[in-house]
Structures are given as structure tokens and as C-alpha cells.
Amino acid sequence: MGYRHYFYLVENTTIEKARAMPSSLFEEHDDGLYITDLLNAVCVFSFGKLYWDLYSKTEPLFSCPVKTEYYDDHIPQVGSKELLEEAITIYRNNIVKAKEEQVAALESKDEEKLAEFLIQSKMRLRSALRTHSNPDIKLNKYNITDNYYYDEAIFNLLHMREIIDWNKYSLVFMGS
């Protein structure tokens, strides 16, 4: 998979149409058949890194070898609310771990750990004051913050969980 990974919101009927597309269409477009255009997908979340655990909650968009080979290491995966719940769990665990490390740094007499904590705090404050911390995140009705820090980005995931019509839409998870 690529460096950045995304959640795209796609209508279930569109997913079924894409799965039914003939393989020849993929063979003819060696100059690029962009899945996000094909699916009329809306990018709703950007991950800074890959979380392998998310793959346990997905299934490949395509099962045909011609279609999967076409996308090489960017094979689109389809997931439901369960996929989003797994992402929330990963982010929550990362937040807890980071907060535990911050408390340990504050309680420590180690000047190096305290200095690192202060540097990180200063960087976070600067980032919070910027209008767009992550250029990959476009503010829309699915995102309430454009910050990529776990303890802020998790609110986008929680917000999406509540507003997405899971009977009508699925998430497509893929790298770029």
C-alpha cells in the first residue's frame, strides 16, 4: 500500500456497479483509471500511516485478478461501520498511550524527557493555531477538524460514525 491512506465514502449501489464492470475496461486504461473518480468517492478521512489492523475489517473491492493487479499496491478495500469502529479503537489506544507518556514525562526528573514534552507541546500549540494543519483533509460535513493529531482527529471519526447512513454507504479504504 502507499504512504497515505484514506477513507472514501461511496454509495453501496456504486460499489456493486464497479464490481460488475468488465475486466477489459481495466486492460484498456493503462494511462490511469482513477478509482475515486470511478466510484464518485468523497474523501472523508486521511491517515498519516497505515494501520494493518484495519484490513481485518475489510474485503477487496475487486476479486478479479485483472482488476486487482491494475491497482497494484493501492488495492481498494470496502468496509462498513465495523471498519470505522476499528479505526476509532486504534486512535483511542494511541491517545491513551500518548497521554500516559506525557504524564510519565511530567512526573520524571529526567530533564531530557521534560524538554521533549515541552517541545512537543509547543509544536501542538502552533499546529492548533494554524487554519489547516493537514492539507489532505478538506473540511466538509464529515470533518469537524482538519488537525491530524490523534486526540483531535478522532472527533472526525466519531462524527462520521453518527452522520453516515450505513444502509446507503460504505467506506472504501485505500492508499495512494
Q: What is the pLDDT of residues 67-110, one digit of tens each?
A: 666 666 567 889 999 999 999 999 999 889 988 887 887 787 77
pLDDT for 127: 62
pLDDT tens-digit series, residues 5-44: 889 999 999 999 888 887 776 666 554 456 777 788 888 9
Task: Identify whether the C-beta of residue 80 lies closer than 8 Å to the C-beta of residue 170.
Answer: yes
**Whole domain around residue 131: which residue ranges?**
1-176
Number of domains in the chain: 1
Structural element, H or E, at residue 58: strand 58-60
0.85 exceeded by pTM: no
